Amino acid sequence: MEYIEMHTHMVSRTTDDYYQMALTGCVAITEPAFWAGFDRTSADGFDTYFQQLTEYEPKRAAKYGIQYYTWLCLNPKEGEDRNLAQEVLWRIPKYLDHPTVLGIGEIGLNRVTRNELKTFEEHVALAIQHNQLILIHTPHLEDKYKGTAIIVDTLLSDARIDPQRVLIDHAEEHTIGMNLEKGFWTGITLYPQTKASPQRAADMIEMYGPERICVNSASDWGPSTPVAIPQFVMEMRRRGHSDDLIRKIVYENPIEFLSQSPKFQLPRRIR
């Protein structure tokens, strides 16, 4: 089944992963900016990184027939450094006209500190100023509910924010309802250790329905599975769900959300 990978970090993956994703039906990828596995010490490093995301990775994906898009930001893990954040934020606008840049992301909170919150608010203001879609990272483990609630409240406090243009990612059973009830799109991340398994994701779909929900692998440097979406498809089929329902979640929903950016082009359908 064809699918769109809404959140994956291909700069950390091999070309073999592109090959496997293409074989399993991936037709498009969106890659948010993220932590490099270490804290970058200067804004110059981000310039190099943004060039990699906008110039190099689209060509690598194209070799496997996969459309590639990206999001730009300073990741929440580095949001504590306010001086660095302001330098990076100053550089982002020059990339926003690039044809593969869909918006600002993944932004949000990591340890839920005041500095991180300020950096988050500045990213949101930048997205509003440039009419960009927003992709949100929510904290892991014990900070998940608290961090998600603060993010949701911060977004809703700004009358300029349209929840339909925001996807809050890494939802779990105790946060997905909050995201959907407030009108946001939400993402379920399929991870082998943290976040959600294909089985838990299927449970959440059965509880909340398919509207405004996408699934993704968020594969990166650590233990992760770039073909997690096909594993989710298999789990949904095992439970007897129709291919129409599954396609809505893994293909049609991503298109509906991403098409709010005029840069996103509908992938060629596979017959």
pLDDT in tens, 9-21: 999 999 999 999 9
86: left (phi over 0), alpha (psi -120 to 50) or beta: alpha
Distance CA(42)–CA(40), nearest Å, equals: 6
158 near 191, Cβ under 8 Å?
A: no
Distance CA(224)–CA(99), nearest Å, equals: 28
Report pLDDT for 252: 97
Low-confidence ranges of the chain (pLDDT < 50): 270-271
Domains of the chain with CATH codes = 3-258 (3.20.20.140)
pTM: 0.96
Type of residue at 174 = H
